[in-house]
Amino acid sequence: MVKLSVLDQSPVRAGGDAGTALEETVKLAQATERFGYSRYWLAEHHGTAGFAGSSPEIMVARVAAATEHIRVGSGGVMLSHYSPFKVAENFKLLENLYPGRIDLGIGRAPGSDGLTASALAYGSEVGIEYFPTKIADMVAFLDDEIPATKPFRDVRATPAVKRSPEVWLLGSSDQSAAYAAHFGLAYSFAHFIAPQVTGPVLRYYRDEFKPSEKLAAPSANAGVFVICADTQEEADYLAASRDLWRLKLNYGQHLPYPHPDEALAYNYNPQELQVVEDNKANRFAGTPESLCLRLMAFAKEHGLEELLILTITHDFDKRVRSYELLANAFALVGRDVAAE
């Protein structure tokens, strides 16, 4: 069976606020642990009213403290902005606090507009051309090895760990796949961003993979957007929110997540209707039975043993219910954490 995990962007709902969104992240993590999900990854976004998770390191600590068994990690830290040394130290500290439960997912996308990206990298070299060296240095600092940047050869990241966190490289293109393959890292592909290239990118990663001390063979999962409901009609109704939200995103509007009624009342012009229809390629919406079949087929087609489920609905209870229905359909083994 395919393992299911969670990707959480800490969405802000229309009429809600960031504090509520972060509270819901913790509640959802606790619920999905009970349902039997394997991992819980926290995303990084900046300069947007739609997502509250600007610091995955902080949220990893918060979620790990509120759960008992589920693996918790970043999905991911946008390493292009930051010091590899500081990222390594953050996650070594987290590994010491929650041994054997921490994942370090890194990405090269800005997760923001260009000006915000410059503010994040203030005082540092700015440019994607530095990203490969940052990966090499970060992994070296994690594993107490000599970094690629020679002036730092005698620097060691602390605190020491018995074993390093799992390292994943996240992406939605062959460039990110190339980095993951070159450095021998696990790869997480964002189907919900670039569904059309899922197959070619994953094949490229596996074909080009070079074994490393961290990983002897390629290992990949995929992030998929899913809305699961008791009926297809309800799933389509809930998914209407995403249709409008993504349309507004195409216009550069990073807004809170709208109510389905707002989305259904929106006066789409013909061009916008086509955009909405095209965007449906990057989401799965349906009943537990239909989604189990579709997601299993998707995983088999792309040789995946794990799917990261991203679900956003305006109603938080419907969001939790979606994860519960999907867990039941996949027969995940849940845990009564409170009873342990």
Closest CA to 103 of 186, 194, 31, 173: 186
Fold category of 3-229+283-339 in CATH: TIM Barrel (3.20.20)
Q: Which residues contact 243 (CB under 8 A, 6 or more apart)?
A: 263, 276, 279, 280
pLDDT at 340: 42
> Residue 224: what are its φ and ψ, rounded to 5°?
-125, 140
Kindly list the averaged pLDDT for each block of 10 residues, start to end, along the chain of length 340.
96 96 98 98 94 97 98 95 92 98 89 60 61 92 92 92 96 96 98 96 98 96 98 98 95 94 97 94 96 97 98 98 98 63
pLDDT at 333: 83
Host H or E run for residue 7: strand 3-8
- Report DSSP state, residue 298: H
pLDDT at 81: 85
pLDDT at 339: 41
pLDDT at 130: 82
What is the signed CA dihedral for 27, 29, 33, 39, rounded to 10 degrees?
A: 180
Domain ranges of the chain: 3-229+283-339
